[in-house]
Amino acid sequence: MKHSVSAAFPQDFLWGASTSAFQCEGAAAEDGRGPISRDLHKPIPGTADFSVASDFYHRYKEDIALMAEMGLKTFRFSISWSRILPEGTGAVNPKGLEFYSNVIDECLKQGIEPLVTMFHFDLPAALEQRGGWGSPESVQWFVDYASILYKNYGSRVKYWLTINEQNVLIFLAERFHTLVIPKDCKNVLREIYQQNHRMLVAQAKAMALCHEMCPGAKIGPAPNISFVYPASSKPEDTIAAENYNAMRNWLYLDVAVRGRYNEIVWAWLKEKDALPVFEPGDAEALAAGKPDFIGFNYYNTLTCEEDDGSRPLTQATDQQTARGESGMFRGCANPHLKVSPFGWEIDRVGLRVTIRDIYGRYGLPMIITENGVGAAEELTADGKVHDDYRIEYLKAHIEQMGLAIADGGEMMGYCPWSAIDLISTHQGFKKRYGFVYINRDEFDLKDLGRYPKDSFYWYKKVIASNGRDLSE
C-alpha cells in the first residue's frame, strides 16, 4: 500500500532512547554490586572491559538532564540483578535499591517516564556458578527478583520489560555467557532449549506477578526481531524463511503472547530429541502470563534459502548476521541492501514489514526498544560529532514506522539505541551508537565528558514536532 503521507504519531507517543546497566553504568565493584557472569570471562581481545563503561552510575543526573534537554518522553534502562541481589538470591543490597530509586526519581523529576528492563545480558555470577538457567530453581530466582523490583519501584514505574533479547541469548549462548552448559552434556541442543523454556516460564510468571502487584503498570517482552525474507520465489526458499522466522522470532512471541510453543519449532525440537521438559504448573503459567504490549529491538532483516543438509553451514558471528540450521534454512546476503561499517545490513523498509507482521499476528501495541547504527566516531577540536549517517538512518526508520502506523499498526513508542555512547557487546567502545558522545576510547578513560552529537539536536526537533519534522 502506498500512502501519500505517513500517519500522525499518537499524541502520547513515547519518544525515547535506551541503555543497559552493564554497558553504561560502570562502578562494577562499588556499593555492594556483585559480579555478573561476564566478569568471570576475559573481554574480547582489543575491547574494553565493563568496569567503568560510560560511568552512568556516577553521572546519571547529568545524563538524564541531557535526555530532558533532548525532550525524551521515556528512558529505557535496565536494572542490574547483581546490584540488587549480589548473590542473585538472598540478601538485598540497600545501596543498589537506592541507586535505581534515585534514577527513577530523577527521570520523573525531569518529566521522563521510566521504561525498566529487568534482565539485560547480566546474570549474577553467583547464579552462573549454581548452574544459571540450567538449574530448575532459576524460575523462582527470577520471580523473587522481579517481586523485589515491583515492591520497591512499582508505584513509580508504569512500563516494564522482562528479558532483553532472549532469542539472541539462545542463538549465541556462548557469546553472552548467560547459559551454563554442563561439560558432560550429551545433547547440547536439548539443554539450551530446556534453559530457554525456564526463561519463558520465568517471564510468564513475572508478567502475571506484575499485574498482581502493580495493577496500573504494563509489561511486555523485548526480543530482537529480524524478519526473514526468502532469497527467491522458489517455494523451498519460502519454507526455509518460515522455518527461520519461527525459530528466531515467533517462538518467543508465540509463547509470550499466546502461551504456547510455535508448531514449526516444536516439530523441529521433537525431531532433534530436544523437546523441553515441562514441570508441573509450567503450562498453566505460560497461559496465565499475558503481556500488555510487545517491545522489540529492530536493527535489520535477514534472508535465507533452502538447505538440504548436505553442505557445511556458517554460524552467525553476532546477533544480526545470518546463520543456518541443517535441513531448515541457510542464511545468505541480501543483494538489495547496503551494509553498515560494522557489517550489518540496513533495511529501513524491513521495519515496516516487521511492524505489519507482528501486529497481524498478535494485535498488541508495540514499542521499538532498540534501533540504531553503530559507527567509529571522533570528537572534533571544537567538541562536535557530525553523525549525519545516524540522522539518515533514524530518519528513514521513523518514516517507515509512520507508514506502518498508516497501515494500521498500533505503535506506542520508539527508543533508539542508545541514549549515550556505551560499550558494544562485541566491538567495545569503538562502536558508538549514542546521541551523546562519551569522551573516552577503548582503554583511555580521558575525562568521560559528555558532548551532544548532531543527531542529539536533530532528534530533539523530531520529538518536539511529534515526528512531523524529520528534516536534516
- Which are the catalytic amino acids? 165, 370
What 3-state DSSP class applies to 96? helix
Paired with 375 in beta bridges are: 432
Residue with cell 517491545: 295
- The continuous run of DSSP H or E covering 285 comes out as helix 282-288
Residue with cell 497481524: 360
CA distance 162 to 119: 6
Residue (of 83, 31, 52, 96) closest to 423 by Cα position:
52
Is there a contact between 266 and 212 (Cβ–Cβ < 8 Å)? Answer: no
Give the chain's end-to-end CA distance (angstroms, integer).
Answer: 26
- The continuous run of DSSP H or E covering 117 comes out as strand 113-119
Maximum pairwise Cα distance, the chain = 63
Question: CB neighbours (10 Å) of residue 463?
Answer: 18
Is there a contact between 222 and 207 (Cβ–Cβ < 8 Å)? Answer: no
CA distance 435 to 161: 22
